Amino acid sequence: MTIHIGARPGEIADTVLLPGDPLRAKWAAETFLQNPKCINEVRGMLGYTGTWNGNPVTIHGSGMGMPSLSIYVNELIKDFDVKTLVRIGSAGGMSSKVKLRDVVIAMTSSTLSTPSLGMFKEINYAPCADYDLLAAAVAAAQHLKIKTHVGGIYSSDVFYDERPDLTEQLTRHGILAVEMETAELYNLAARYGRRALSVCTISDHLITNESMESEERERSFGDMVEIALTAAFS
């Protein structure tokens, strides 16, 4: 049990999926896990542990943004010794190659700032995914015949951005999508020698201004959960 996670010892699996939204954690656990049990409700952040194909899995909300995710991932690693962490969440498309509902597997994540910035000081550290997880996710997507894109994404530290110049340069340099958590997840995984990956569904698009309705988001997000689970246990 920690300040933010009320689970008892042994209640959190070695593999954790991390949606930002606690209600999405509840939906994913009830949809994909066998015998899911709620193991955390502290501050309304829900976590569930069950099994998938006989493998223990925890699905735990991380909140919105890197500071929130940093709290949960630090505690999951340092207090519960979690080995594999896979973010599952929504992202905004930033490339004409990426369409609404497509899945993006983040090889790297660029950012202006993370909670780790003070530690790195003048170093522009390049956060990246665990290669074995990345390769397994790509293979899983191909096997499941799910359309995916693999490449760099952008982790923003603000939701209401007012930097069209930044968006232009990121798009110019091949960034596929924007979200708010992956860069810090990859920083922490590297720091503590853990495996991490981010698998996101495109729910809206910065270029076309398209967006998915809330009900449609739930139905479409199943693909990324299947990819994440398959990759984690490949």
What per-residue string of b and e applies to 111-132 under the rule 16 or more CB within 10 Å gives b?
Answer: beebbbbeeeeeeebebbbbee
Residue 228 has phi, psi (to 5 degrees) of: -60, -45
Two tokens, residue 118: 């003070």
Residues 6+ apart with CB under 8 A from 169: none
In the annotation, is 204 catalytic?
yes
- Which of 132, 165, 204, 223 is labelled catalytic? 204
Per the structure block, which two tokens stand in for 125?
A: 């550290």
* DSSP assignments along 131-155, one per residue: HHHHHHHHHHHHHHT--EEEEEEEE
Residues classed as catalytic:
204
